[in-house]
Amino acid sequence: MKYLIFDFDGTLANSIKALITAWNTIAQKYQLKELEFKDIAVLKKLSLTERSKFLNLPLHKVPVILPQFYQLYHQSLQHIHLFDGIKEVLLELEQKGYHIVIISSHAKDTILAFLNINGIQCVAEVLCSNPFAGKDKVLKKFLKAASMPSSDILYIGDELRDIIACQKAGIPIIWVAWGYDAKEAIQHIAPDYQAAAPRDILTIIDNA
Which residue from 170, 177, 166 is spatially nearest to 200, judged by alpha carbons? 177
Beta bridge partners of 165: none
Note the helical H segments in 75-149.
86-95, 108-117, 135-146
Distance CA 182, CA 44 (A): 5
CB atoms within 10 A of CB 98: 18
Q: Identify the pLDDT of residue 35.
A: 95
Summarised one tens digit per residue, pLDDT across range 62-102 is 889 988 988 888 787 788 999 999 999 999 999 999 999 99
Cβ neighbours of residue 97 under 8 Å, at least 6 residues apart? Answer: none
Beta bridge partners of 176: 195
Q: What is the pTM of this model?
A: 0.88
Residue pair 66/132 in contact by the 8 Å Cβ criterion: yes
Angle between helices 62-74 and 16-30 (to 10 degrees): 130
Which residue from 101, 18, 59, 189 is spatially nearest to 10, judged by alpha carbons? 18
Distance CA 107, CA 85 (A): 24
Distance CA 122, CA 125 (A): 9
Q: What is the pLDDT along the chain (208 residues), one digit of tens a residue?
A: 789 999 999 999 999 999 899 999 999 999 999 999 999 989 999 988 899 999 999 988 888 998 898 888 878 778 899 999 999 999 999 999 999 999 988 888 889 989 999 999 999 999 988 766 678 999 999 999 888 888 899 999 999 999 999 999 999 999 999 999 999 999 899 899 999 999 999 999 999 8
Residues in the chain: 208
157: left (phi over 0), alpha (psi -120 to 50) or beta: beta
Q: Identify the pLDDT of residue 131.
A: 67
